[in-house]
Structure 1
Amino acid sequence: MATEKPYDVQLEIMQTKDGHSLRIDEDTLKSEHALSTRDAIKAYPMAIFWSLAVSMCVIMEGYDTILIGNFYAYPEFAKKYGQFIDEHGNHQLSAAWQAGLGNCSGVGCFFGVMLNGYLVAKWGQKRVLVGALIVLSCFIFITFFAPNIIVLAVGQVLCGLPWGVFASSAPAYSSEVLPMSLRVYLTSYTNMCFIIGQLIAAGVLAGLVHRTDEWAYRIPFALQWLWPAFLIPLLCFAPESPWHLVRVGQLEEAELSLRRLQRSSANVDVKATLATIVHTNQVEEEITAGTSYLDCFRGTERRRTIIACVSFAGQVLSGSTFAYNSTYFFQQVGLTTDETYNLNVGGTGLALFGTLVNWFFLMPYFGRRRIYLWGMFTMSMILFVIGILNVWTHKSSVGMTQAVLTLAWTFVFQLSAGQLGWALPAEVGSTRLRQKTVCLARNAYYLVSVVSGILQPYFMNPTQWNLKGFTGFIWGGTAFLTFVWLFFNLPETKGRTYEELDWLFSKRTPTRKFKDAEVDRSQHGDEASALSV
């Protein structure tokens, strides 16, 4: 029978097959707050390792994102797949094909993400990730041998299916195997892997741009086989998420997984950690009606899902389609091919530097809300300046100035939305709906990305609207509107356990009171934590 018990007494959660009881007391509930970042690194080295390994799957999506977007200005690619020749004899893809090809992988990712929400609930993160890597290895053959742009588009759609799995599984896995003090670093590390993939692609493109044969674009496609060859055998040994194992009732396996994730000599009680997971899961079973996608939009979950979706979609609404994948913009404002691809490499390196600055100088001292909020405001101002400068495009220095401003935008993006767009969706959703919340948030990103990907070529293409730098006004506007929404709706999640977030959302705590609100554990217990004994 269900009984109500306050948090300040010992709670017998469940009895394992070996006869040991899992107990949780006030000290256990406070221990996660007491674990500093340095102590957590010492106590959970294997959790960090496996989080890094799983996140490396995202490198391939980041690689492809910048690869296809920057192939448009690539001479040999345009010669092979282009349908348009200007008065100087240069090949280009039409705006329609730029929009279509650029969004093919996003369409595949959308369906891959939705499918992943069901697959992980049944099979767990580990099996689904390994299976997706095997499937991707097969689909890469299509893009590598594509004889025409139609086959290439089909290959991009199919490759997008496993990429969607990686993008939604990596932050969710990291959030479930790490303690609270490490959570934001390793969930946002997914973004760093995205940048690493882009940096590799930028370097490969810059190195091959002068080749005059088909290998100029086939080699970049072939390099995608390296990651599955490395990650498949590695991830076969990864531990499953203990949260998933608890949700499916495999407590002994969950305990073994926790032991694999932390150092044996660490002063952390594995059974107490397991008891906390079981307890939080039971609390959420009382709060939420189920674990379907529809449940993400019921009751207090609706607010959490919307925050997660806007946080992820904010990466596109901030202007990333214009300012991040900017080689085509550089070309349209008059920069040479060498200048274009060298700036592209420099911009991607600057993005990686911005990620490190955020880790060491922002996230340890400032809250998620402040970083994301003011980063979005700064990006909107930079984009407006790029638009204003376009009035003086007759001056030779203006194009380079606009290009440098896109690099500044890239740096600010990685200080804020670039990282926290990955971390926040993995934090704000309840643990039982986390995977599906992350999936919905990532799909919000893909939907907005597809729309922006369709519009952006028309903004920039000289045979269409040819807005050049004036495009900054459009994306500056979307960034500013996103800033306004975040100001009123994005709560502070820094320093909050999943259980505390459940309480704050269930109490409908106002956005700007999240940071300092005190969690009344006894009230939370009365409302939601009736435990089966």
Structure 2
Amino acid sequence: MAESKQTGVGTVTHTDASSKFDAQVAAASITDKTETVGEAIRNHPMAVFWAIAMSLTITMEGYDTNLMGSLLAYPPFVAKFGQYYPAPIDETLISGPWQIGLGQAANCGEVLGLFFTAYLAERVGHRMATIGSLVAMGGLIFIPFFAPNIGVLCAGQLLLGIVWGVFSVIGTMYASEVCPLALRGYLTSFTGVAWTIGSFVSSGILQGLVNNTTDWGYRIPFAIQWVWVVPLLFVAFFAPDSPWWLVRQGRFEDVEKSICRLTKNCTSEMAKQRLAVIVHTNQLEQQQQMLLSSQTGKAASYIDCFRGTNLVRTEIACVVFAAQSLVGQVFVGSPTYFFVQAGINPSDAYKLGFGASGLAVVGTLFSWVLMTYFGRRPLMIAGFAGMSVLLLTIALLTYHTTVDGVTTTTGALWAQSGLALAWLVVYMSLFASQSLSVAAEVSATRVRSHTLSLARTAYMVWAIIDGVIETALLNPTEGNLKGKAGFVWFGFTLLLLIWSLFRVPETKGRTYEELDILFEQKVPAWKFAETQVDILDEGDEHDKDLP
């Protein structure tokens, strides 16, 4: 009697239809591996559009992160919420504890939001999770806009952070599941572009309002966040659901509709081939889950991220995300406050901050050029090396700018500022975009929502710790170390460079099923690029064990 097999394209028998199913998988896999970037754009224009459009939600997080960091030295904001310190400081400042509170309230909120993001994304889908978060954000913006004191402002940042926790990974999750293989690196890293666009806009607005000494000087920047909500609601409402999510929900008829919405001149056969690949990969991961747990058949959970090879994949995703902060992002990534504390006057500091945001956008776009010719692994390693050298140089230059805490030369100050801008270019062009792509690609599809939520949580936890450390290092009422703080971040970056040599795999050009197999076979990270994988042989082996 022929063995029955549920494929998602119908119930078939091994003797009558498994060869057809394998042929569909092979055909789609060949298309994935041979399709060029230009062909992928022409064949999947709507996939490109929807991946970019859904990733724009993180623009608001980039806007507010840069906004709050810059407001700490913004004259009208400091006049409203600051405290006067008598001699020898003789200046109105946001105190160290409140700097920590304002800087980390949103980060704490994001940790809470991230915990629920995986469940939301898997339960209601990326679209509905985005819609609900946008509606919540529209209401919560009223809190910082009307905040009568710094305590209310801090509470507003905390609540908004919960929403930004959803935005911070939902775009990457969605893009990783709707875009073709040839475009995966570009579109999963587009969230970095969206983030820097938000940062660039907030820098421009603050530069335009820096001479406004009224409360509107900081209220207008808060109010501009409402501009993003309505258009993004329309985008999320009309976007197609992820085919991978629909397969995990068992909605196979809807999968073909979604695939055809993402593919130009889509035919029924093309949709079935793409569906076959998704089902084949899903079956392989179900089999791997069954070997590790008795919970097969139930929805994925955070515990699954720490079972079997998923543990290694979770480690890689979490470390590359946490590295975004550990390499000194809080030190020179949003550099306006660093410029002011280094001794540059506020007007010049905000001009430099505005220029830095522009360089961040350019650096991210340049990363797309680099990833066309180089893999994720070499670019990330080069990024760690370059940032290490720049951080060490910034720290050493401090000995030429001050004597006993007193500024002695402006030349070295401007040299430090120039190196901070160079660090930002290296960070965005070599590391940041690759970290987003690697985290999205190393995670297994069935636990991608959970893995990316954990990875972003790792980033937020370290961002909170780093923010506290940096405040203690830079604030004039605390350590007042100025550029010497670079020694701390140089140490972290050097450790990450060593880690990356042994742990970061090459994921460029690999289908999700190939990555599943490479991790299952425990291939060393430095051999991923050269190892050959036969997905049909591996898939057939697992199909035999399916119940």
After TM superposition, the score normalised by the length of structure 2 is 0.93
**1:200/1:117 CA distance change after superposition, 3 Å:** same
Give the SS at the match of 2:21.
Answer: strand
Listed one character per residue, the Cα deviations across residues 164-215 of structure 1 (whole Å, up to 9, x for unaligned) are 1011111010000011110010010000000000000000111111101000
Q: Which residue of 2 aligns with 1:29?
A: 29
Q: Say whether the 8 Å CA contact 1:283–1:530 is kept in structure 2.
A: no
> What amino acid sits opposite 1:388 in the alignment?
L
- 2:309 is the alignment partner of 1:309: no
Which of 327, 334, 337 aligns to 1:325? It is 334
Task: Determine helix, strand or coil for the equivalent of 2:510.
Answer: coil
CA distance 1:271–1:526, shift in 2 (3 Å): closer
Could you tell me how far 1:234 is from its partner in structure 2? 2.4
Mark the CA change 1:530 to 1:96 in structure 2 (over 3 Å): closer, same or farther: farther
Q: Considering only aligned residues, what root-mean-square deviation do their CA atoms show, in Å?
A: 2.2
Residue 437 of structure 2 is aligned to residue 423 of structure 1: yes
Distance 1:385 1:340 in 2: 20
Name the aligned partner's letter for residue 7 of structure 2.
Answer: I
1:526 Cα deviation after fit: 5.3
* In structure 2, distance between residues paired with 1:237 and 1:268: 25
What letter corresponds to residue 145 of structure 1 in structure 2? F
1:505-524 pair list within 5 angstroms: 505-521=519-535, 523-524=537-538
Aligned to 1:493: 507
Task: Indicate the residue corresponding to 1:365 in structure 2.
Answer: 373
Aligned to 1:160: 161
Superposed counterparts of 1:256-405, under 5 Å = 256-264=257-265, 269-288=270-289, 289=293, 291-360=300-369, 362-393=370-401, 394-405=408-419
% identical aligned pairs: 42
Structure 2 residue identity aligned to 1:406: A
- How many angstroms does 1:3 deviate by? 6.5
**Aligned letter for 1:260?**
R
Please give the secondary structure, in 1, of the residue aligned with 2:364: helix
Structure 1: state its 5+ residue gaps: 5-10
Q: Distance in 2 between matches of 1:416 and 1:227?
A: 29
| Unmatched segments (≥5 aa) in structure 2 | 12-16, 402-407
- Judging changes above 3 Å, is the alpha-carbon distance between structure 1 residues 464 and 528 closer, same or farther for their aligned structure 2 residues? same
CA deviation after TM superposition for structure 1 residue 31, in Å: 1.9
Matches within 5 A, 1:67-216: 67-87=67-87, 89-216=90-217
Q: How many Å separate the matches in 2 of 1:314 and 1:155?
A: 27
Return the alpha-carbon distance in structure 2 between the equivalents of residues 521 and 420 of structure 1. 25
Q: CA deviation at 1:90?
A: 2.9
SS at match of 1:91: strand
Deviation at 1:509, TM superposition (A): 0.5
Structure 1 residues 459, 268: closer, same or farther in 2, change over 3 A?
farther
Whether contact under 8 Å (2:287, 2:546) holds in the other structure is: no
261-270 or 403-412: bigger deviation = 261-270
CA distance in structure 2 between the partners assigned to 1:44 and 1:268 by the alignment: 16
Q: What SS class does the counterpart of residue 7 from structure 2 fall into? A: strand
1:82 shift after superposition? 1.2
Q: 2:7 maps to what in 1?
A: 13
TM-score, normalising length from structure 1?
Answer: 0.95
Aligned residues: 526
Cα pair 2:9 2:252 within 8 Å, conserved: no
The answer to whether structure 1 residue 440 and structure 2 residue 454 are counterparts is yes
Q: Which residue of 2 aligns with 1:8?
A: none
From the superposition, tell whether residues 80 and 286 of structure 1 become closer, same or farther in structure 2 (CA, over 3 Å).
same
Instruction: Tell me the CA shift for residue 522 of structure 1.
Output: 5.4
Q: 2:260·2:266 contact (CA, 8 Å) conserved in 1?
A: no
Name 1:217's counterpart in structure 2: 218
Contact 1:322/1:456, CA 8 A, preserved across alignment: yes
Q: Give the superposition deviation at 1:120.
A: 1.2
What is the CA-CA distance between 1:527 and the residue it aligns to? 4.6
- In the TM superposition, residue 395 of structure 1 has moved relative to its aligned partner by 1.8
Contact 1:43 1:268 in 2 (8 A): no
Counterparts in 2 of 1:277 and 1:521: CA distance versus 1, 3 Å: closer
**Separation in 2, partners of 1:199, 1:467:** 27
Structure 1 residue 83: Cα displacement: 2.6
Q: How much does 1:528 deviate?
A: 2.9
The structure-2 alpha-carbon separation of the partners of 1:530 and 1:241, relative to structure 1 and needing over 3 Å to count, comes to farther
C-alpha distance in structure 2 between counterparts of 1:2 and 1:185, whole Å: 45
For 2:375, the aligned partner's letter is: G
Q: Which has the higher contact order (CA 8 A, sep 6+)?
A: 1
Alignment partner, residue 63 of structure 1? 63
Corresponding letter in the other structure for 1:391 = Y
